[in-house]
Structure 1
Amino acid sequence: MDIDLKSEREKALETVEKYKMSGKLLARYNKLINFKGAIAAVAVPLNPDGTVNHEMFNAYTDHLISIGVGGVYINGTTGEGLSLSGAERMAVVQAWFQAIRTKKPDMLVIACISSTVVKETLEQANFYAIMNVDALAVLPPFYHRPETNDCLIRYLQSIYKAAPSLPLIYYHFPEMTNVKLDIRIFLEEAKLRVPNLAGIKYTCKDMAAISAVGYDLRHKYKIFTGYEECLLPMASMGIDAGICALFNFREAVTRWQAILNYFPSDLKAANEQQDGINDMKTIFAGGNFIHNVKKAISEETKGLVKLGKPRPPIHAHDQ
C-alpha cells in the first residue's frame, strides 16, 4: 500500500490549524512531524560513585553526530530517568541541550518528564519550556495508574498548562507501565482536549494494535517506533522515525536508513536490514540491556565516551 507522506503531513498541519496553536508550538510541531530517521534513546554518563559525569556530554554528542543520528531522547528508559532525582534530570537535559545547540543546532532535543510525582513532572515541563527544548515526552502514571481515558487525558492537560509552547509525545510502553487502555480510542479522544499532544513513542509488539495505530492515527500524530524489532513493520505503514536504544550505534542507524530507502521497492533487502537489527538486539539482550548498551557505546567510541554502570536497582549480578 503506497502512502503519500506529504499528504499525511498536510493533514497533520490542518489539525494544527484547527486547534490554533501558538506560533512557538506550531514551529516546534512542524519540526517534529517532519522528522525522518533515527533518534537515539541516550544513556546517562555516570561516575564510579554513581554521580552524573558531566564531562562526557560533548564527546557523546560528537559520537551521535558522526553516526548520523538526528535527535536525542533524554531521561527515558535507556537514560535511567526514573533512577535520577528531579534536579539530576534537569541538569542532564541542560547538559545535552548545551552540547547539541553548540555542535548541531538542528538536532531534535526531546526531554522525557515521566515521574510518579505529578508536581515534579510539571516542574520539569515548565523548566524545559524555558530552556526551549524541541519537545516533551511522558509515560502515563504507572503506580497509581489511570483507570479511564478521561483520567489520563486530564493528566496530559496539566502538562499542557505547564508547557503550552512545547509539543508533547505520549510514551506508550504497556509492558513496563501496565497501563493498557485502548491506545487508539485514547488518542482519538485526547486529540480533542490536549492541544500540544503531537506524537507517540510506540513501544509495543502487539501487531494488531500497531496496525490500528499506524493506519488510523498517522495523519493526526507523529509516530515513533520504540522497539527496534518493529522498525520494518512500522515502516510498512508509513512510520519513518524511531526512538531506540540501538540508535546509539552506527550499524543500527545505517540499517534503519537502509530500510527507509529500500521499502517498499525492495522488500527482500529491507528484511535483511531488519534481520541485522534483530541480531544486534539479541546480542544486547544477554544480561542487563542498559548495562550492555553503556558498555558497547564505550567500546564503539574506543573509550572516548565513558558511561559507567547503571544505578541501582540494577545490580552487579544482573550484569
Structure 2
Amino acid sequence: MAFTGKRLKGLIAATFTPMTPNSDINLLVIEQYVDYLVQKQHIRNIFVNGTTGEGMSLSICERKRLTEEWVKHARGKMDNVIVHVGCLGLSDSKDLAAHAASCGADAISAVCPSFLKPANLDALVLYLKDVASAAPSLPFYYYHIPKLTGITYQIYELLGKVKENIPSFRGVKFSDVNLMDFSLCVSEYKEFDCLYGVDEQLLGALAFGAHGAVGSTYNYLGNKNGDMLEAFEAGNLQKARKIQCSLQEFLYFVFDMAHFSGSKAN
C-alpha cells in the first residue's frame, strides 16, 4: 500500500496483539482479525503496535513480524495501516520506521522517549525529526499520550515547531483530555490531521473538529461509534449524545476490568 496524500479521517482501530497461551505473538490469526474489522465493524484503518498492541513491551523482532503480517493481510482490504515505531532508544525507533516503509505501511507514528525525557520542546522536535527521517516517504504522526509518557508539552506549540522542521509530518494522535489544546491544534493547523485518542469522550472532540479517532474500543464498538459519527455529521446531536452515553456506560464496566486486559478479553 502507498499513501496518496489523502487525509486520515473516521475511525482507526488500535489493534490488540494476538498472543498464544505461551505468550508468543500469534501471527496466524491476524488475517482473520483484519477480516473481522472490515466485515463486522466496518473499520478500514488500523494503528498497530501502539499502546493497545503492547508495542513497548514487545521485542524489536516481534514488532517487525507483526508489522509485516498486518500490512500483508490489510493490503486490498483496508485503506491505511499506521505503524507505531516509538521506542525508548532512537536507533530502535529509526530501525522500525525504516522497516515499516520497506513493508509498505501507509504511515508511521511515535511516542517520545519516556525514561530519559526530552528536556524541552526543541529537543522533542529533534527526536521526532530523526525518527521521521528514517522513513521520509511515509507520513509521520506524533503520538501524544502524556498519561503514560509524562510529557505534557502543549501540542499546539509543538505543531508550530514541527511545521518547519519535519517535511513528512502530517498530524497527531492526541490521547489526552485537554480539549483546549486539541481545539487550538485543529483550528490553527488545518493542514494537519488531528486524530483523537480518548474513546470515551470522542463526541466532545468531534465538536472541536476532530478529523478522526484512534482507539482500542473501535475493535469491538466500531459500528456503534460509526453510528455516533453519522448522527453528529447529520446534525442530530441528541442521537449522538445518546450513543456516546451508552458507550460510556459500557466502557465504565470495561475499564473496571483493568482497561486493556478487559478490552482484550472482549
Q: TM-score range by the shorter chain?
A: over 0.9
Partner of 1:74: 48
- 2:57 aligned partner: 83
Residue in 2 that maps onto 1:280: 250
Per-residue deviation, 1:107: 2.3
* Matched AA of 1:268: Q
| Alignment deviations for residues 46-65 of structure 1 (CA, whole Å, 9 cap, x no partner) | 11111111111111111101
Partner residue of 1:227 out of 176, 179, 198: 198
Q: Which of 162, 165, 189 is the equivalent residue of 2:161?
A: 189
Secondary structure of the structure 2 residue equivalent to 1:30: coil
One-letter identity of the residue aligned with 2:258:
N
Which of 1 and 2 has greater Rg? Answer: 1
Using a 3 Å threshold, how does the CA distance of structure 1 residues 149 and 37 change in structure 2: closer, same or farther? Answer: same
Alpha-carbon shift at residue 281 of structure 1 (Å): 1.6
Partner of 1:16: none
Q: Would you say 1:40 and 2:13 are equivalent positions?
A: yes
Per-residue CA deviations over 1:145-176 (Å, capped at 9, x if unaligned) read: 11211111111111222110000010010111
Partner of 1:202: 174
Residue from 152, 171, 193 that aligns with 2:124? 152
Q: Distance in 1 between matches of 2:196 and 2:140?
A: 16
Deviation at 1:29, TM superposition (A): 5.8
Gapped runs of 5+ residues in structure 2?
A: none
Q: Which moved more, 1:281-290 or 1:57-66?
A: 281-290
Any conservation in 1 of the 2:193–2:211 contact (CA below 8 Å)? no
SS at match of 2:256: coil
Root mean square deviation, CA, Å? 1.6
| 1:247 counterpart residue number | 218
User: What's the offset of the Cα at 1:93?
Assistant: 0.7
User: 2:62 is matched by which residue type in structure 1?
Assistant: E
Equivalent residue number for residue 294 of structure 1: 264
Measured against aligned partners, the alpha-carbon deviations of 1:166-207 in whole angstroms (never above 9, x if no partner) come to 000100101110111121111111111111110110100123
Aligned to 2:71: 97
Relative to the length of structure 1, the TM-score reads 0.79
Provide the residue aligned with 1:317 in structure 2. Answer: none
Secondary structure of the corresponding residue to residue 47 of structure 2: strand
CA contact (8 A) 1:41 1:74 kept: yes
Flag as ranges the 4+ runs of structure 1 deviating above 4 A: none
Q: Check if 1:178 corresponds to 2:150.
A: yes
Hey, what does 1:116 align to over in structure 2?
88
- Aligned residue for 1:313? none
In structure 1, the gaps of 5 or more residues are: 1-23, 297-319
Q: Return the offset for 1:257.
A: 2.0
The one of 236, 240, 243 aligned to 1:266: 236
C-alpha separation in 1, matches of 2:211 and 2:249: 21
Residue 257 of structure 1 corresponds to which residue in structure 2?
226
Task: Kindly indicate whether residue 163 of structure 2 is the aligned counterpart of residue 163 of structure 1.
Answer: no
| Equivalent position of 1:4 in the other structure | none
Q: CA deviation at 1:212?
A: 2.0
Give the Cα–Cα distance (whole angstroms) in 1 for the partners of residues 71 and 122 of structure 2: 34
Partner of 1:128: 100
Whether the 8 Å contact between 1:203 and 1:225 is mirrored in structure 2 is yes
Q: TM-score, normalised by structure 2?
A: 0.94
Which of 57, 63, 66 is 2:36 aligned to?
Answer: 63
Equivalent pair of 1:228/1:281 in contact (CA under 8 Å): no
Q: What's the CA shift for 1:288?
A: 2.0
C-alpha distance after superposition, 1:259-290 (max 9, x if no partner): 22222622111111111221222121013222
8 A Cα contact 2:156 2:182, kept in partner: no
Letter of the 1:39 partner, please give it: I
Q: How many residues align?
A: 264
Task: Please name the residue that 1:15 is paired with.
Answer: none
Q: Which has the higher contact order (CA 8 A, sep 6+)?
A: 1
The residue identity in structure 2 corresponding to 1:50 is S
Q: How far is 1:292 from its partner?
A: 1.3
